Structure 1
Amino acid sequence: MKNQKVVIITGASNGMGKAAAQVFADHGWIVYGGARRVEKIPNGENIHAVSLDVIDDESIKSFADTVIKEQHHVDVLINNAGYGENGPAEDTPTDHIRKQFDTNFFGAVTLSQLILPTMRKQGSGRIVNISSIGGDIYSPLGAYYHATKAALQQWSDTLDIEVEQFGIRSVVVQPGGTKSSWGSVAVQNIYNNLKPDTAYKPLVDYMAKVLSDDAPGMGASVEDLANLFYRAATDEKPKRRYFNNFHDHLTVIMARSLPGLFRRQVLAGLKGK
């Protein structure tokens, strides 16, 4: 099929990214899915599975060069790769913190910088940055995850102002609790990041239950979010923010508009544990 649209999706081997690769392919897009575990990226006529490590600049450049050389244009870039390096702010080693920023923030920045010249040349394009409601709210043991998502959002908003003149938009998707492996990875990292003499063990044991994959707050499916990605990528008049449901949006509004009340609710939850 001629004139097929091209989308790049990072973190395409698992969760929302994997589901999104399938959704775009089903809509007839040419999909370039990037991930370290290439074998886990969906197979399909329209899907190109390419090795990508978003904390390795050479890997990112090779990935971008492959897409541009083979397709000569990119309609949408979805910066989805990310994880939760959760743990006590006091305990978490600085090299783990740097890896969190490299994955959730700098990887998106580097890839976007490589793709933007092509988008400017063609006079169109959209960058969809997958943040989280955690970019506006906060919870115990998530300091560095929340910091990366807040940074991604501020960067995206600034980028949007700069590139709109070229027919390009930069928008943000903010998922809430989602049924995926994100929670189990975050919990594993919490325990990995504890010092032997940690003062935070009771808090850790409580938050491990809150973040488990089957916790009550993990209500959305990865398919729900994949369809939201597609909407963010294709809306004729894109919004700055995309939420899966009203509750997620309301949570962000409350955290931003009533920060004192939000903090009291967080503390009340901890006292009631």
Structure 2
Amino acid sequence: MAANDPVLVTGCSSGIGLATAQRLLAAGHTVYATARRPESLDGLARTGARVLALDVTDEASMRTAVEAVEHEHGAVGALVNNAGYGVYGPVEEVDLDDVRAQFETNVFGLGRMCQLVLPGMRRAGRGRIVNISSMGGRLVFPTGGWYHASKYAVEALSDALRVEVRPFGVDVVLVEPGLIRTEFGTTASHGLAAGDEGSAYGGLRSYADELMANAYRSRAAAEPGVVADAVVKAVRTRRPRTRYVVTAAAKLQVQTRRLAGDRVWDMAMRQAYRLR
């Protein structure tokens, strides 16, 4: 993308989205920072970001945001699809309405944003789409099945899209963070703790909750800025990688899962979660 092309970032009210918008602004980009509640972006507005309301589960909201950027610049230079959250719990027990809502944000909203920016990118003959996935799109932990499913979907969507749009000068990049200290961990942990009394999975829920809380407090967890740095690299590098795995611990786990195979990984997960 050209140096003066605008960058549209979803989910900027906190965490990775906020840090990404800040880093892009510091690098000199025109940044359109978005969130469902634009008043949550006042700090970014004061530092030079253009602020827009954008709810990735609302068609009119998505169209309006993209059209605002295109009206001023002709096309979105780079789209950073960051908006997302996690629904956790045993596969059997998670309410499917909650699963559908998660997929609306993590998968369908992300995919629709890609659809909306691509005509302008094709006309411009260039563009970049950076999809924030997760190491959870490459491996699965117990109680995370529905969340991981959404991230596996993001991986598949991005792999197909990357090949389809390359002839038009558009690059598609996946950023796959490991444990990052944001509100994500607290929200997911709350879901684990909210199981029905007497659940057959009560022990698993309780121990998974403990493991998750300890993991997000551990040295393996990193600050959102490390993901933001990877996103900035993905946006600015002339020939970006197809994937950026973020944090050393995430790289180790992804490679371990790849090399270990299903049976070894399953055994390790049963031991880690005290499942016999």
In structure 1, distance between residues paired with 2:265 and 2:234: 28
1:137 aligns to what? Answer: 139
- The answer as to whether partners of 2:33 and 2:49 remain within 8 angstroms in 1 is yes
SS at match of 1:261: helix
Per mean C-alpha deviation after superposition, the further-off stretch among 235-244 and 99-108 is: 235-244
2:33 aligns to what? Answer: 33
Map Cα deviations across residues 160-201 of structure 1 (whole Å, 9 max, x no partner).
000000010111000001111110011122234x33442112
2:242 aligns to what? Answer: 240
RMSD, aligned CA: 1.9
2:21 aligns to what? Answer: 21
In structure 2, distance between residues paired with 1:220 and 1:272: 28
1:210 pairs with 2:211: yes
1:270 pairs with 2:273: yes
In structure 2, distance between residues paired with 1:233 and 1:211: 31
Q: Calculate the TM-score normalised by the size of structure 1.
A: 0.93
- The answer as to whether partners of 2:189 and 2:209 remain within 8 angstroms in 1 is yes
Q: Calculate the TM-score normalised by the size of structure 2.
A: 0.92
In structure 2, distance between residues paired with 1:160 and 1:44: 35
- The answer as to whether partners of 1:29 and 1:46 remain within 8 angstroms in 2 is no
Q: How does 1:81-96 map to 2 (within 5 A)?
A: 81-96=83-98
- The answer as to whether partners of 1:209 and 1:215 remain within 8 angstroms in 2 is no
Output the amino acid matched with 1:232: A
In structure 1, distance between residues paired with 2:203 and 2:60: 42
**Would the alpha carbon gap of residues 254 and 236 (structure 1) be closer, same or farther in structure 2, given more than 3 Å must change?**
same
Q: How many residues align?
A: 271
SS at match of 2:8: strand
Q: Give percent identity, aligned residues only.
A: 34
Output the amino acid matched with 2:165: V
SS at match of 2:131: strand
1:74 pairs with 2:43: no
- The answer as to whether partners of 1:171 and 1:238 remain within 8 angstroms in 2 is yes
- The answer as to whether partners of 1:84 and 1:100 remain within 8 angstroms in 2 is yes
- The answer as to whether partners of 1:54 and 1:103 remain within 8 angstroms in 2 is yes
Map Cα deviations across residues 30-79 of structure 1 (whole Å, 9 max, x no partner).
11111112222222353112111111122111221122112222211000
Superposed structure 1 runs of 4+ greater than 3 Å apart: none
In structure 1, distance between residues paired with 2:23 and 2:95: 38
Structure 2 segments unaligned to the other structure (5+ residues): none
Structure 1 segments unaligned to the other structure (5+ residues): none
